[in-house]
Chain A
Amino acid sequence: MPLLEITDMVVGYGRIEALHGISLTVEAGELVTLIGANGAGKTTTMRAVSGIRPLTRGTIKFDGQDITKMKAHLRVLEGIVQAPEGRGVFPGMTVQENLDMGCYTRKFATKAEYQATLDHVFELFPRLAERRSQVGGTMSGGEQQMVAIGRALMARPKLLLLDEPSMGLAPMIIQQIFRIVSEINAEGTTILLVEQNAQQALSRSHRAYILETGEVIKTGGGKELLADPSVKEAYLGVA
């Protein structure tokens, strides 16, 4: 049974349909990537999985449970946690407060558990430990992305949704972020990743889906798609 199972999902904004019935699955432990051009429907898919965009048709199942109609904030309790597009760092909160927002609803049973998770986040992102009391709005893009991912980890997600973590970042930082994404996955967290940086994302993914104007046009293993001539041409800038 897949951890996440989307069947025939249609999502629209007003009268404009953004997703025309897509289906995809994510197995427990996998790192799955959605790639596609701007406007292909990647972010819409992520918003629908998190519940901040309603479905017009189709179903979403998580861990065997139908969550199609479940409210967004309750999905967090089930273990679906997203680091959104544009990072969504709370600009007026410190790094520490931002991280604590991660466990706002998914509470820790003990203080020691909280401390262990926090230590782990600081281990992945030592930069955040140094900047605990800095206000989010004054941080660089890369640091904000670290906050966004670290905050999501504080919720101990069963399924981590990462929406374009590399957006607007310098190549060095992108490398670092991708390395950490792989590391988080290797530790056992299932990840659904949305990326424009197809080269990096595909080479690190177990599987990937290629979205084009609201439809899945191709799916396969990450390395397999990386070698696919049509994918190369369209997304990797290689003729």
Chain B
Amino acid sequence: MTGPWAASVFALADSDINFNISALGHSFWQLTIDGLAYGAIYALVAVGYTLVYGVLRLINFAHSEVFMLGMFGQYAALMILGFSPSGNAYAEGAVMTIVFLGIAMIVGMAVSGGVAVGLERVAYRPLRKRNAPSLVFLITAIGASFVLQEFVHFILPKLTGGKLGGVNAQQPIRLVESKQQFTIFGGSVTNITLIIVISALILAFAADVFINRTKFGRGIRAVAQDPTTATLMGVSREKVIMLTFLIGGVLAGAAALLYTLRIPNGIIYSGGFILGIKAFCAAVLGGIGNLRGALLGGLLLGVLENYGQIVFGSGWRDVVSFVVLILVLMVRPTGILGETLGRARA
């Protein structure tokens, strides 16, 4: 993958800052479409940050590694299904491609969901039992993030005979060949963009219905709004916390597959880091603790940084995100949709 997407994977570029507003005008629709696809991925990952924050008032900095392990999970699934980096994967026909994508996504979701729940068990639950102060949770989250990265960096290759993990990115398995499907105002929409946006919309809708319309979702909101009273109503806080990590993990796992379609060579032990921070920004931008805020923040951040990198130069892409975040917080400290789950109507 070349072009704008590669920029954020590598370090900040050494390029000078530009100001090319006419380029934005030229390719406005293309930038919007691509930005939405990227933003949809941010949005799915952001849900994990926002839900955990809503329930525990904890920024789970290891969530980016939950996402990263999801990428390895779906990659491993494809390898087991017989795909290899050198193979001509997209000769399978549309139906089989969708089947394989589905399997890879489900495995990614299962791995990420499992890692998130396991992380909660091993790292956070013991701290809750001891009534640790919130700073300890934060440091633990950062520590867990390193542990998971280094696990993939050093231990996973030993466990898999060098097939997975290690210092280099995985060789891409190209399951879907990027092909233009149609155009919107001259902006090209590829099959990959369609897969990303449609899957993300379905998952976001499902998450929203789950949180706002089901009994378990009501339990999650109850714990977020008033944990003591929730307990008095018979809600098990521990179960709610587990469920929250599970939902966040599952969505991150789905996002992991979508991300690898877009950035096939992004599967590396450090590959969750920047994306995780962006998703966290998206959650804060929309109003952390607020599910719809996370979804909106993700889409907005994806689009705005895509505009920004054209105007200022591709190396400034990440800078644009953070500046947008700071500007919004200066005007609205609680984020765009404001208030946390604590007060807003989820």
Contact = CB atoms under 8 A, between A and B. Distances in A.
Nearest to A86: B229
B231 A90 contact: no
Nearest to A50: B232
A47 B331 CA distance: 41
A73 B231 contact: yes
Interface stretch (B82-90, B299-307, B309-317, B337-345): B337-345
Q: What's the interface size class on B, roughly? A: 20 to 34
A104 B221 contact: no
Contacts of B232: 50, 52, 72, 76, 81-82, 84, 88
Given A76-B234, A77-B234, A105-B234, A88 B343 contact: no
Contact of B225 (A82, A90, A102, A151): A90
B222 A52 contact: no
Nearest to B340: A92
A172 B231 CA distance: 31
Interface in A113-169: 135, 137, 151, 155
A73 B230 CA distance: 9
A91 interface: yes
A155 B233 CA distance: 8
A104 B233 contact: yes
A90 B234 CA distance: 14
A101 interface: yes
Contact of A73 (B226, B236, B343, B345): B236
A21 to B, nearest CB: 25
A135 B345 contact: yes
Contacts, number: 77
Contacts of B346: 92
B146 to A, nearest CB: 34
A60 to B, nearest CB: 16
A91 B234 contact: no
B153 interface: no
B233 A93 contact: no
Nearest to A72: B231
A77 to B, nearest CB: 6
Nearest to A148: B229
Interface string B207-229: 00000000100110110011011
Contact of B233 (A51, A92, A135, A151): A151
Contacts of A20: none
A52 B344 CA distance: 26
A223 interface: no
A100 interface: yes
B324 interface: no
A61 interface: no
Contacts of A81: 232
Interface of B: 215, 218-219, 221-222, 225-226, 228-237, 341-346
11 contacts: A51-B231, A73-B234, A81-B232, A82-B232, A92-B342, A93-B225, A101-B230, A104-B215, A105-B233, A106-B234, A155-B234
